[in-house]
């Protein structure tokens, strides 16, 4: 990160604006999630689905490490997701004592539908913006994404990595 961008009055204003946007996105996301499934998943369960989509197959222990959660909590989340048909459990090929978790086709469909609804909601809002503001938003979000990746990489180097 550049030293001239790490402090200053604009930093606080940007953090405030980002917080407000995140709160608005949460409202949009919840509308989309509520419309996607008769049994929407919690934010924690949704995070599990994203992790499984990216890192499958994965065992409960590794999933717990990625989430930073206790094994019993992870197991309960997976029980609920399994009951919804969003994940599949199977014996591990590496160890008979472990189960591998995978995103099921229903879980994959849920995520695809959720993303489509979210994107449609975003497109409705973004379409109302003037072209110059859309371009500025794209540039700002690109910079934000890079800063998040840089921050996560530095946190990982310090032994406190969190993914997803």
Q: What is the pLDDT of residues 89-142, one digit of tens each?
A: 888 777 777 788 999 999 999 989 888 888 888 888 888 989 999 898 888 888
What does the pLDDT read at residue 132?
Answer: 92
Taking alpha carbons only, the member of 33, 48, 114, 36 closest to residue 80 is 48
Inter-residue contact 60 to 71 (CB < 8 Å): yes
Q: What is the pTM of this model?
A: 0.69
Q: pLDDT band at residue 159, thresholds of 50, 70 and 90?
A: very low
Q: Where are the beta strands (DSSP E) in the chain?
A: 58-59, 87-91, 99-103
Dist. CA 71–CA 56, nearest whole Å: 18
Q: Which of 1-5, 11-15, 30-34, 35-39 is least confident?
A: 1-5
Dist. CA 155–CA 98, nearest whole Å: 29
Q: List, in order, residues 6 or more apart from 81 with CB less than 8 Å away.
A: 41, 45, 48, 49, 87, 107
Q: What is the pLDDT of residues 32-90, one digit of tens each?
A: 555 555 557 888 898 899 999 998 888 888 888 888 888 888 889 899 999 999 999 88
Q: How many residues does the chain have?
A: 164
Residue 162, pLDDT > 50, answer no
Taking alpha carbons only, the member of 108, 90, 99, 98 closest to residue 49 is 108
């Amino acid at each position: 990160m550049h030293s001239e961008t790490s402090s200053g009055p604009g930093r606080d204003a940007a953090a405030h604006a980002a917080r407000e946007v995140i709160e608005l996105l949460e409202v949009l996301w919840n509308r989309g999630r509520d419309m996607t499934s008769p049994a929407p998943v919690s934010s924690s369960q949704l995070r599990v689905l994203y992790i499984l989509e990216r890192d499958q197959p994965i065992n409960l222990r590794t999933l717990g490490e990625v989430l930073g959660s206790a094994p019993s909590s992870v197991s309960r989340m997976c029980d609920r997701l399994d009951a919804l048909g969003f994940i599949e459990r199977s014996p591990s090929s590496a160890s008979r004592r472990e189960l591998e978790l995978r995103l099921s086709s229903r879980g994959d469909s849920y995520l695809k539908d959720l993303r489509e609804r979210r994107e449609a909601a975003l497109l409705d809002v973004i379409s109302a913006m003037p072209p110059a503001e859309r371009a500025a938003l794209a540039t700002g979000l690109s910079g934000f994404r890079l800063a998040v990746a840089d921050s996560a990489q530095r946190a990982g180097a310090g032994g406190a990595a969190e993914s997803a």
